[in-house]
Amino acid sequence: MKNLTIGTRLAGGFGLVLLLMLLMTVIGISHMQKVAEATRDMMQQPLAKERMISDWYRLIHTSVRRTSAIAKSNDPSLGPFFAEDTAASTKEVNSLQHDVESLLDTPAEKQMFADMLVYRKRYLGSRDGIVALKKDGKLEEADQLLQQHFIPDGKAYLEALRGLLDLQRKRIDNNAAGIEATYQHSRDIMLVLGLGVLALGAACAWWLTRGIVVPLGRAVEIAAAVAGKDLRSDIEVDTGDETGRLLQALKTMNDGLVEIVAEVRSGTESIASASSQIAAGNLDLSSRTEQQASSLEETASSMEELTSTVKQNADNARQANQLAMRASEVAQRGGAVVAEVVGTMNEINAS
């Protein structure tokens, strides 16, 4: 991981966080879809059936009250007066029966519905019998049918409807509990994922920040040390990213500066040694110069003496030259005398 570039690490960290956020979104949408489906199922069947059965129950409850009133009343015109309402109620109940029956999907519902139809058939027979007896003016028979059959049949019919209605409401309550459980489960999952994403995001941020800030801080320390003329920093490079390359460049620069300083120090020592030698040579040259100056002074004195001697020699030479010239003249004269003697001797010899 240390050899990954900073850009790659940043992209990886943010990509992981974004992936987890996407996962959270997908899971959230999935659980929301489950809640929506459960709600839709509850609205389409149990709630719809509950409403239709509730309307059915209300109509039958009203019909039982209306038929009981007709049966107990001594007014023969009451039956015909409610005939239209009774027909409309019967028609609406028939429609509700058909709609409810088409929505039944469990064996328990179907069994309760079948039992309820039996009670309904008995109820309708008692109701129609009371209306017919009332129409024929048989009040006592109508009252007897009311007490012995209609009221028990109506009660059983209503209880069957009530049972079917309670079953639907129980199913709705179960669906609502399931929806609530799904919501709580989804909430817990989203909370856990949110905390996980938060923790992972914090960890990624810490890891990325540390991976960038720590090497940069070390690089700043090294640069400050170099600026402070301290080249003793121990630079370790353990990453291959941009900060690692920066530290490697600083290490190369620091090592180069150490070599330059070492070379300058060596050159300075050489210059100092040469300067010492030059100074010693200058001292020796100065001493020799002083000795040479003394020798020159002695030489000059000797030259002066030699010049005096040469002058004396020159005077002596001039004197010797004069003497030699004089001797030469004497010699010439002696030669002439000798020549004369030789001539004389020759003459004597000839004689």
Whether the predicted pLDDT of 53 surpasses 80: yes
CATH architecture for residues 6-213: Up-down Bundle (1.20)
Q: Give the pLDDT score at 345.
A: 67
**Hey, what are 139's tokens?**
């009040």
Q: What residues contact residue 151 under an 8 Å CB cut-off, 6+ apart?
A: 68
Higher local confidence (pLDDT), 27 or 296: 27
Q: Give the pLDDT score at 231.
A: 67
Residue type (1 letter), 168: Q
Alpha-carbon gap, residue 250 to 226, rounded angstroms: 9
Residue type (1 letter), 76: P
Whether the predicted pLDDT of 116 surpasses 70: yes
Enter the pTM of the model. 0.50
Q: Give the pLDDT score at 137.
A: 79
Report the candidate in 59, 39, 152, 149 with the shortest Cα–Cα distance to residue 100: 59
Q: Give the pLDDT score at 300.
A: 62
Once rounded to an integer, what is the mean pLDDT over residues 81-102?
A: 87
Q: Give the pLDDT score at 335.
A: 62
Q: Give the pLDDT score at 77.
A: 74
- Of 14-28, 97-111, 137-151, minimum mean pLDDT range: 14-28
CB 106 within 8 A of CB 169: no
For residue range 6-46, list pLDDT tens digits in order: 667 667 777 777 887 788 788 878 777 776 676 666 566 77
**Hey, what are 323's tokens?**
């003497």
In percent, how much of the chain has pLDDT > 90? 4
Higher local confidence (pLDDT), 189 or 230: 189
Range from 14-18, 159-163, 259-263, 331-335 that averages highest in pLDDT? 159-163
Would you place residue 3 in the very low, low, confident or very high pLDDT band (cuts 50, 70, 90)?
Answer: low
Whether the predicted pLDDT of 283 surpasses 60: yes
> What value does the mean pLDDT of the chain take?
78
Q: Give the pLDDT score at 159.
A: 92
Q: Give the pLDDT score at 233.
A: 66
**Hey, what are 344's tokens?**
């004389």
- What letter does residue 77 receive in the DSSP assignment? T
Ranges of each domain in the chain: 6-213
For residue range 153-200, list pLDDT tens digits in order: 889 999 999 998 898 888 888 888 888 888 888 888 888 888 888 888
Q: Give the pLDDT score at 4.
A: 62
For residue range 233-254, list pLDDT tens digits in order: 667 776 666 666 766 777 787 7
Alpha-carbon gap, residue 223 to 233, rounded angstroms: 10
209 phi/psi in degrees, rounded to 5 = -65, -45
